[in-house]
């Protein structure tokens, strides 16, 4: 019985550590400018929700998320009439929309969050 318990503990630790270690945050897959934009979108999501649901005091995002991974970024179109974005807006800060994947135990995809050019976050759950 003790051996089964020890195996279960090891599986839980491996399942919780895999998304963070193997999946990473996805920023390394972008070029210089895109990486800067992707890191700003990633920072926006992590600041709002928290890194993982294991942060019991600071995490406010979807349940069972152990890792975030930037899937894609897309430059924001210019504002109508050639207007400039407000200086303290998300559009001025990041300048792009992003799709960020969320991963659960053992790296199982949990869902995706879309951050639009205005900084609004839309969560799409897989389960």
List pLDDT tens digits, range 50-83. Answer: 887 766 677 788 888 888 999 999 999 988 888 8
What are the beta bridge partners of residue 113? 100, 123
| Pairing of the two strands 96-103 and 67-75 | antiparallel
Residues 38 and 46 sit within 8 Å (Cβ to Cβ): no
Kind and range of the H or E run holding 10 = helix 2-18
What are the beta bridge partners of residue 99? 72, 114
Give the model confidence (pLDDT) of 14-39 as tens digits: 777 776 777 888 998 898 889 998 99
CB atoms within 10 A of CB 93: 15
Instruction: Please give the residue range of the domain that contains residue 61.
Output: 1-125
Q: How many domains does one find in the chain?
A: 1
| pTM for the predicted model, two decimal places | 0.83
Distance from C-alpha of 116 to C-alpha of 122, rounded to nearest angstrom: 8
């Amino acid at each position: 019985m003790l051996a089964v318990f020890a195996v279960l503990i090891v599986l839980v630790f491996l399942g919780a550590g895999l998304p963070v270690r193997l999946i990473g945050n996805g920023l390394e897959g972008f070029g210089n400018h895109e990486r800067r934009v992707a890191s700003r979108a990633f920072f926006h999501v992590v600041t709002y929700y928290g890194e993982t649901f294991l942060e019991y005091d600071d995490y406010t995002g979807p349940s069972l998320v152990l890792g975030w991974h930037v899937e894609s970024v897309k430059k924001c179109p210019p504002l109508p009439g050639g207007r400039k974005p407000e200086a303290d807006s998300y559009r001025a800060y990041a300048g792009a929309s992003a799709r960020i994947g969320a991963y659960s135990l053992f790296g199982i995809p949990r869902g995706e969050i879309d951050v639009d050019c205005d900084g609004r976050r839309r969560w799409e759950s897989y389960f």
